[in-house]
């Protein structure tokens, strides 16, 4: 059984009628998973409620300043607003973002307990959020917080993050690149938002691998990089846990980027990850064409079901 951590509360982060990061992303994925041939192999799990995790704020502060956390809470409590032109906060957004962090931490616990993959189906996404601010649709840095949390668990000495979202995870990289216990790898379209992620950025401990790709790249461009760069980088690091920022906006149908991947390519990406370790936590980041997004998540989940 593959754990999929999901709550309908994640639909209550409201972004407006025309915003691409909308609740329908999750409902489309849930509908596809429930109709899948392997639906009986999915274990739907509710995230731990925020009130039942008294340490959640302290985990949040491993990645974000208390001033920024208070800012998000204040904007939400005052009825909503914007962190920047792309990043709205609605009245429930702060609570929902906290629940998303809780879901990612639950995912860490499940993966470490079962030594098999888990998928976190949550929003808002997180990989652009920095210590001081959210941006690019992201409020809190779910993947980075999960890294720091995992390193507090017994027997976990090294954690790797693989970010296959089409946009560079500037927030995640900025938060983890100074930690020798964390490796970060991103393959992303360049030039593209947010304009970061140069190949020359290696981290303080040669623990960062950025693979910027030109617009129009398809699986023929991606596959050699996986085989010759990413897998050797991850295997050499020997992570006790692999966290995947699973964005699906490099799909050919996605409206926000210019790549040419197909849904089945993400099944291959998942197989590559499983060749490194079965202890994989995948969490949703981007992906904005509802049909191809759903199909790509199906490909990812199916590969994980096969080993669980």
Active site residues: 128
Contacts of 191 (CB under 8 A, 6+ apart): 215
Strand partners, 118: 281
Burial 216-247 (b: 16+ CB within 10 A, else e): ebebebbeeebeeebbebbeebebbbbbbbbb
Report the alpha-carbon distance of residue 168 to residue 130 in Å, rounded: 13
Q: How far is CA 271 from the centre of its chain?
A: 17
Burial 258-285 (b: 16+ CB within 10 A, else e): ebbbbbebbbbbbbbbbebbbbbbbbbb
User: Rounded to 5 degrees, what angle do the CA atoms 249, 253, 259 make?
Assistant: 55
Tokens in use for 174? 């900025």
Report the alpha-carbon distance of residue 234 to residue 209 in Å, rounded: 10
Report the alpha-carbon distance of residue 182 to residue 207 in Å, rounded: 7
Tokens in use for 242? 């692999």
Pairing of strands 118-120, 280-284: parallel
3-state secondary structure of 124: coil
């Amino acid at each position: 059984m593959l754990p999929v951590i999901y709550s309908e509360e994640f639909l209550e982060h409201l972004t407006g009628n025309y915003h691409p990061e909308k609740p329908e992303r999750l409902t489309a994925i849930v509908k596809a998973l429930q109709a899948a041939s392997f639906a009986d192999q999915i274990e739907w799990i509710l995230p731990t409620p925020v009130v039942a995790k008294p340490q959640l704020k302290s985990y949040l502060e491993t990645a974000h300043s208390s001033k920024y956390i208070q800012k998000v809470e204040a904007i939400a409590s005052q009825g909503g607003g914007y962190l920047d032109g792309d990043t709205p906060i609605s009245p429930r957004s702060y609570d929902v973002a906290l629940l998303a962090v809780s879901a990612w931490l639950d995912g860490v616990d499940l993966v470490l307990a079962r030594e098999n993959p888990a998928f976190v189906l949550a929003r808002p996404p997180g990989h652009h959020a920095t210590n001081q601010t959210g941006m690019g649709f992201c409020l809190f840095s779910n993947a980075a917080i999960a890294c720091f949390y995992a390193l507090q668990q017994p027997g976990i000495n090294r954690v790797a993050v693989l970010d296959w979202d089409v946009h560079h995870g500037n927030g995640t990289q900025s938060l983890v690149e100074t930690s020798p216990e964390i490796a970060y790898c991103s393959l992303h379209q360049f030039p593209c938002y947010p304009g970061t992620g140069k190949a020359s950025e290696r981290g303080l401990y040669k623990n960062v691998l950025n693979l910027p790709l030109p617009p129009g790249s398809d699986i023929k461009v991606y596959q050699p990089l996986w085989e010759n760069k990413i897998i050797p980088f991850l295997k050499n690091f020997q992570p006790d846990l692999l966290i995947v920022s699973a964005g699906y906006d490099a799909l050919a149908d996605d409206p926000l980027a210019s790549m040419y991947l197909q849904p089945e390519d993400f099944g291959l990406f998942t197989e590559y990850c499983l060749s490194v370790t079965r202890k994989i936590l995948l969490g949703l980041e981007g992906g904005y064409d509802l049909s191809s997004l759903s199909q790509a998540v199906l490909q990812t989940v199916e590969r994980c079901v096969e080993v669980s």
